[in-house]
């Protein structure tokens, strides 16, 4: 990463309110500041995911650019694909501030945003002006006051679907009351049925992804995988933030909300590996949670991911981290004799399911 990126990140982290710092970072990107080299690529990094051709498999997770206000500059920073949102049918303010907390001692964050966004119509209008060549998806959400949350996902897809390359059904955020209840078999099947019907009505249907929680029991995960395959979900994103606070030392650990960052790595990677085993590699997986280096990303691939996404680590390391991880991943694949990412996928899945430790994970990466 460049010196200016490191200095800018340090200055933003010095602000008392992390949400204000995040808003300033988006404005700086929109103003043309930040890396401009585009996504690093190579024959090893080029990836086909759910019918999408990616220059590299390192993506931006939903939540960083909720309202699709910095699409063009983000497409130049090194990410192989972008996911914006979550978008809900109607605009909503989300939960009261403060609602974002940096846990510096743990290299983590806790948020309780509550799907604050400008609404699907405004976000769709920005996506209609998206940069050419970039792979961009939208995270679908439901309004807090909706009387039919399942229908909200289909509404957002109908509005914004013509302008994206994929869409993610997000029923795993812990910050909207009872949203995770939609992960149950019957509720999820009905919700996905509505989304798939809306998708079929688009002039150009898009791959539908499903984002799951890291706090699922084995039985819950098995049900989700069964429903996802039956409903022709194109990929699972594992995982969203966690409600667990295991092993934290920062005094802000008691704040309510979803935890992301380094402490989520092992928990999310174990869910990823279990999903890989349950689906037998038939369903592509996107690994999210605690990735801060090329070694972390490589471990996700070896656990079963076909692509990865970043968010919290770029708060600490800067937006240039995406390109740094992609280049490092290329070197790791070359070191181990893999001609492409697919060759590494799932190599360590069984060890992760059995409880691979962080020490062993790093030694193998």
- Tell me the CATH architecture of domain 3-364: Alpha-Beta Barrel (3.20)
Classify strands 108-111 and 100-103 as parallel, antiparallel or unpaired.
antiparallel
Give the per-residue pLDDT at 172.
85
Give the per-residue pLDDT at 11.
46
Residue 275's alpha-carbon distances to 45, 96, 226, in angstroms, are: 23, 35, 10
Give the per-residue pLDDT at 110.
98
Strands, DSSP E only, in the chain? 47-49, 52-54, 58-60, 81-87, 100-103, 108-111, 136-140, 166-170, 208-212, 235-238, 258-261, 285-288, 307-310
Give the per-residue pLDDT at 32.
82
Give the per-residue pLDDT at 10.
46
Cα(248)–Cα(266) distance, rounded to whole angstroms? 14
Cα(337)–Cα(314) distance, rounded to whole angstroms? 29
Token duo for residue 296: 């972390």
Give the per-residue pLDDT at 200.
98
Cα(175)–Cα(196) distance, rounded to whole angstroms? 25
Q: How many CB atoms lie within 10 A of CB 363?
A: 9
The 3-state DSSP class for residue 122 equals helix
Catalytic one of 173, 260, 268, 306: 173
Low-confidence ranges of the chain (pLDDT < 50): 3-4, 7-8, 10-11, 357-363
Give the per-residue pLDDT at 16.
56
Domain ranges of the chain: 3-364
Give the per-residue pLDDT at 184.
84
Cα(99)–Cα(70) distance, rounded to whole angstroms? 22
Give the per-residue pLDDT at 69.
96
Residue 83's alpha-carbon distances to 108, 159, 277, in angstroms, are: 21, 16, 26
* 173 in active site: yes
Closest residue by Cα to residue 330 from 321, 320, 342, 340: 340
Give the per-residue pLDDT at 125.
98
Task: Report the number of secondary-structure helices (H) and strands (E) in the chain.
Answer: 13, 13
Residue 292's alpha-carbon distances to 23, 246, 321, 335, in angstroms, are: 21, 19, 8, 20
Give the per-residue pLDDT at 12.
52
């Amino acid at each position: 990463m460049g010196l200016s990126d490191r200095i800018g990140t340090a200055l933003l982290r010095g602000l008392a309110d992390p949400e204000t710092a995040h808003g300033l970072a988006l404005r700086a990107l929109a103003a043309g500041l930040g890396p401009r080299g585009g996504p690093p690529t190579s024959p090893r990094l080029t990836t086909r995911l759910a019918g999408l051709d990616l220059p590299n498999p390192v993506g931006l997770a939903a939540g960083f650019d909720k309202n699709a206000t910095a699409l063009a500059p983000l497409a130049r920073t090194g990410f192989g694909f972008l996911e914006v949102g979550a978008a809900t049918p109607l605009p909503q303010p989300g939960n009261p501030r403060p609602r974002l907390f940096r846990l510096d001692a743990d290299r983590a964050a806790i948020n309780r945003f509550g799907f604050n966004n400008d609404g699907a119509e405004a976000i769709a209008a920005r996506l209609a002006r998206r940069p050419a060549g970039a792979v961009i998806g939208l995270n679908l959400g439901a309004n807090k006051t909706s009387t039919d949350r399942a229908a909200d996902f289909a509404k957002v897809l109908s509005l914004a679907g013509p302008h994206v390359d994929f869409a993610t059904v997000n029923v795993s955020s812990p910050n909207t009351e009872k949203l995770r209840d939609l992960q149950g078999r019957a509720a999820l099947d009905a919700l996905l049925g509505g989304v798939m019907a809306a998708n079929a009505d688009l002039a150009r249907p898009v791959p539908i992804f499903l984002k799951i929680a890291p706090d699922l029991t084995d039985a819950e995960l098995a049900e989700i995988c069964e429903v996802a395959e039956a409903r022709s979900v194109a990929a699972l994103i594992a995982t969203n933030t966690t409600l667990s606070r295991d092993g934290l030392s920062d005094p802000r650990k008691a704040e309510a909300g979803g935890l992301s960052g380094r402490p989520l790595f092992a928990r999310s990677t174990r869910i990823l590996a279990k999903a890989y085993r349950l689906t037998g590699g038939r369903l592509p997986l996107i690994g999210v949670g605690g990735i801060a280096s090329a070694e972390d990303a490589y471990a996700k691939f070896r656990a079963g991911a076909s692509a990865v996404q970043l968010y919290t680590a770029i708060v600490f390391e800067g937006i240039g981290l995406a390109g740094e991880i992609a280049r490092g991943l290329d070197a790791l694949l070359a070191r181990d004799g893999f001609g492409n990412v697919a060759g590494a996928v799932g190599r360590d899945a069984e060890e992760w399911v059995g409880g691979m430790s962080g020490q062993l994970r790093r030694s193998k990466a």
